[in-house]
Amino acid sequence: MKPDSRRYLWAAAALAAAAPFAGAQTTSSQQPPTLTQISLVPPSVAAAADFEPGGMPEALAYDGTHVWVARQFANSVAKIHATNGSISGTFPVGNRPLALAYDGSHVWVANFGDDNVQRLQTSDGAVVSTVPVAGGPGSLAFGGGILWVASRGNNSVTKIQASTSAVLGTFPVGRRPIGMAIAGNDLWVANNNDDTVTRLRASDGVTLGTVGVGKGPIGVAYDGTRVWVSNFFSNTVTKIQASTGATLATYSVGDSPVGVVYDGQRIRVANSGSQTVMRLRVNDGVVLSTVQTGKGPFGLLWTGSAIWAANTGGDSVSTSAF
């Protein structure tokens, strides 16, 4: 023990005698979901468990045929057929897969606990390359042949040539970068602990600006002209002019918004606390519809025809596909 620690040492004996106590896990009531829910846990396992199994998936990606789901506490990714919902396979990856991205031919996964990203074959989930990325990689974005990786622990983003897995550079951003979106020639990064977003020039990683948003920014999406940021602790989304960085508006959404995605016409937001997905009109932020999901929707995905949400409160996804 360091000498400093002795300054506040408690009578440890009184505390150390504790024995673990078994107990039932607390659960809360849920409203019936509107979206179809697909469990990622085999029925036999789910039936045997005395509490909700906890893959706690956060991230989704779409390869054109299948939706991929990263099950962070199962250290695996699941592959679901996007039109019939059947699970085509579950493949082992690294420790705590937190993010996914599809690069046009392969799926990338960020393994937060292993400090690396892996490139997977879509056919069988085989790992074709593993690239070390320091600092707890937890967010991915792909565009223009480049995979961007945000590392929460060392406040940086790393640029990787997807086709070759070559690391092209690492660039500083704000504290706890946690969400990213590519907007034209720029990369926007949500700095969760700074309540800001950083705009980087994708070509060379130069910071072009930093914009203040709400509390706990976490998700980022681009609608073609504007960047949308979900603010977890403010229960809002912020709309920013991508070309100038000017804040255009802030709209109230549900409880604890996380994932945000543009569906070609509207912005959709996953409210992890409300267990809903909202559809917002882009020009004025009016909520056009709200649908119920599973517990704790986190990552959102738009396949072109359906919305998918990863339910991090359990081990399932919710979808409008069928």
Q: Does 29 contact another protein by CB under 8 A?
A: no
Return all residues near 70 (Cβ < 8 A) that are at least 6 apart.
57, 58, 59, 60, 77, 93, 97, 98, 99, 100, 109, 310
Tokens matching residue 149: 């990786």
8 or 284: CB nearest another protein: 8
Q: Please give the Cα distance from 228 to 238 (Å, whole number).
A: 6
Q: Please give the Cα distance from 103 to 69 (Å, whole number).
A: 15
Q: How far is the CB of 175 from another protein (least distance, A)?
A: 10
Tokens matching residue 144: 């223009």
Q: How far is the CB of 99 from another protein (least distance, A)?
A: 14
Q: Does 21 contact another protein by CB under 8 A?
A: yes
Query: Tokens 């082992």 label which residue?
Result: 92
306 or 310: CB nearest another protein: 310
Phi, psi angle pair for 48, to nearest 5°: -80, -20
Q: How far is the CB of 252 from another protein (least distance, A)?
A: 17
Q: In the stretch 148-177, what mask flags binding to another protein with x, by CB under 8 A?
A: ------------------------------
DSSP 31: P
Of the candidates 101, 46, 95, 55, the one whose C-alpha atom is nearest the C-alpha of residue 78 is 55
Q: How far is the CB of 168 from another protein (least distance, A)?
A: 27
Q: Which one of the spans 77-85, 157-165, 205-213, 251-259 is the region binding another protein (CB under 8 A)?
A: 251-259
User: Are 260 and 268 contacting, i.e. CB atoms less than 8 angstroms apart?
Assistant: yes
Binder of another protein out of 68, 91, 108, 112 (CB under 8 A): 112
Binder of another protein out of 94, 136, 177, 299 (CB under 8 A): 136
Q: In the stretch 191-230, what mask flags binding to another protein with x, by CB under 8 A?
A: --x---------------------xx-x------------
Q: Does 258 contact another protein by CB under 8 A?
A: yes
22 or 47: CB nearest another protein: 22
Amino acid at site 125:
G
Amino acid at site 299:
G
Of the candidates 111, 58, 85, the one whose C-alpha atom is nearest the C-alpha of residue 259 is 58
List contacts with another protein (CB under 8 A).
1, 3-12, 14-16, 18-26, 28, 51, 54, 73, 96, 112-113, 136, 193, 215-216, 218, 232-233, 255-256, 258, 272-273, 296, 312-313
